[in-house]
Amino acid sequence: MVTTGTQVERRLAIVVVLTTMVCLIVTVFAAYCAATLEFTCAVSIVENHAIPEFTSVYGDVYVCAWGVPAIGMIWGLWLARKPCCSLLSLTVYVAAACIFMVSWLVYTLLAFYLVNQSFLVGSSF
């Protein structure tokens, strides 16, 4: 029976850590490339249109997302340093990576959606 105290061999832990790292890097890279294009070439930026504050904040912090794969690499190396690691710690590592990836993609998509909308300020219908 598998419990939270079950030990995982280093071989399996390294495979899990490496695949999780690849997913983190691909997610951050895709969001970074899309954001770079959006904030340098988009019509709303080139023509100096006002953008929503939510998107403006995203434009200021999207570069910082590269810190997460770095932290994930350190955490993953720490998990794989011993001959065995607990299944619970490996599960928490993967869950934290998944939560980050989903939340970052939702934040990115919402920022892009808002920057491409037209808002009527102060007008009545």
pLDDT tens digit string along 87-111? 999 999 999 999 999 999 999 888 8
More confident residue, 112 or 26: 26
What is the pTM assigned to this prediction?
Answer: 0.79
Three-state SS annotation for 46-108: HCCCCCCHHHHHHHHHHHHHHHHHHHHHHHHHHHCCCCEEEHHHHHHHHHHHHHHHHHHHHHH
CA-to-CA distance for 79 and 123, rounded, in angstroms?
A: 57
Phi first, then psi: give them for residue 40, nearest 5 degrees: -120, -30
- pLDDT at residue 62, rounded to an integer: 87
**pLDDT confidence band for 46 (50 / 70 / 90):** low
- pLDDT at residue 55, rounded to an integer: 83
pLDDT tens digit string along 61-85? 888 889 999 999 999 999 988 899 9
